[in-house]
Structure formats: structure tokens, C-alpha cells
Amino acid sequence: MADECFGHPRLAALYDPLEADRGDLDAYLLMVEEFGARRVLDIGCGTGVFALLLADRGIEAVGVEPAGASLDVARGKPGGARVRWIEGDATSLPPLEADLATMTANVAQAIADPDAWHGTLRGARAALRPGGRLVFETRDPARRAWEGWTRRESYRRTDVPGVGAVESWHQVTDVDGPLVTFRTTYVFAADGAVLTSDSTLRFRERQEVEADLAGHGYALEQVREAPDRPGREFVFVARRPGA
């Protein structure tokens, strides 16, 4: 079980309105520029926000996403035809020779299963050209972000155009070592529907991610901070050796 809301059509359509502030993507746009990337693979692209920002800037964007309902939202957006969308995960990619692969908004944590995680690192490396980079963020477990995922601290009421008011909140249901499971509840004022979605995230230590990257043949260039969330996230910049 991981992030099941992304595959649910009614919930996938809520993702953008509920996550309206995407300042987190600025740092990724800057990295695209910094590394001179012209072809970018966005792994776990969700509703396609980042891939579409790239396409707007004339970058060749490929978005891969296992949740079909999220990908349907992405495909239907203005400019959607300029992105190459692939339904699936990084283990089943065609040869891409990408300059950069990204996992924005803590996709890495959503890939909680060890086999899926290792498959993702292997697949991303194979999709990069020699010298290409993989960049992604993951929350620092020491900050214990899940402690704030209570109804009291996360409750929001959002007016969603075409949908009406939606109340939403998170509640942690289980903490099992590095695995944190939480339930998100959505209440739709329009018809009184109550939907829930269960998600499990893996909180990896910095050293663990570094070892995983090395094990898959990446050279770690840097571990940065997320400028919009200082001290809370590790942002890994890893390079496929060569060229």
C-alpha cells in the first residue's frame, strides 16, 4: 500500500488544488538550468506539474507515473501533448539517454518497498546518458515530520473550482521503524461523500541513501538542502559516471 489516492480519479483530481503552492519545484527548475539539461525524465510525475513546467521552457520532458488516474489528469492539461507520458515506473522505461532524472515531492519516500526502490535506482541509471544526473529529495527522519500529521495540525478546508468545498486531514495510523503509514480523509461538501486514502512512506537515513546510490553505480556529487524547507530534507545530486 503506497499513496493509493493517486490512482483514484476523484482524489487524483484534488491533488493540484490541494497542493496549490508548488514553490518546491523552483529548486528543481534551477537544477535543470544549472546542469544544462535538455531532456528530463520525471519519475513519479503524478499530475504532471513539473513535466509541464519543463515543456513550457522548451525542455524535452518525459513523465513516468504508475497511477493511471493521475496520469489522466496530466494528459488532459493544456500543453499535455508536449510531454511524453509513460504509465508505469522506472523499472520499465525505454532507452531515453536523459540528461537529468528527477523525483520531486518526496516520490522517493513513496517508493517504500525495497525491491521497487532498488529497481527505481537501477532503471533511472539506465535511462540516463553517461554523465547524466539523478536528483531527488527525501525527508530527514531526524525531524520526525510525521508527528505533525495529526487531524488538528493538518486540517484544511479548500474551495475547489468545479467541486466545491473539500475538508481534508492526515492521521498517522502506524509507525513501524522507518515506515510511516497515515490515512488522509476527504469530505466533499457537495454530496457529503467521505473518502479515505492510506499511504506508507519510508524515511531513509542519509547514509542509507548514499550507500544505495553507490551500490547502483552512481557518483554522489552533493547532498543539498531544499531551499523552501531548510533543514528538513536531503536533496541528493547523483551522477551516472562517464562522458
Ligand X SMILES: C[S@@+](CC[C@H](N)C(=O)[O-])C[C@H]1O[C@@H](n2cnc3c(N)ncnc32)[C@H](O)[C@@H]1O
Binding site for ligand X (CB under 6 A): 2-3, 6, 43-46, 49-50, 65-67, 70, 89-90, 104-107, 110-111, 116, 120
Give the nearer residue to ligand X in terms of CB position, either 5 or 237.
5
Give the nearer residue to ligand X in terms of CB position, either 43 or 209.
43
Task: Match 515543456 to its residue by C-alpha cell.
Answer: 55
CB of 51 to ligand X, least distance (A): 9
CB of 23 to ligand X, least distance (A): 12
What number of CA atoms fall less than 13 Å from residue 124's CA on the CB side? 32
What number of CA atoms fall less than 13 Å from residue 33's CA on the CB side? 8
CB of 161 to ligand X, least distance (A): 19
Q: Which residues contact 35 (CB under 8 A, 6 or more apart)?
A: 99, 100, 133
Give the nearer residue to ligand X in terms of CB position, either 117 or 143.
117
Calpha distance 129→60 (Å, rounded)? 14
CB of 191 to ligand X, least distance (A): 25
Give the nearer residue to ligand X in terms of CB position, either 141 or 189.
141
Distances in Å between the Cα of 26 and the Cα atoms of 8, 71, 104 are 28, 22, 11
Using left for φ > 0, alpha for ψ between -120 and 50, and beta otherwise, residue 38 falls in alpha
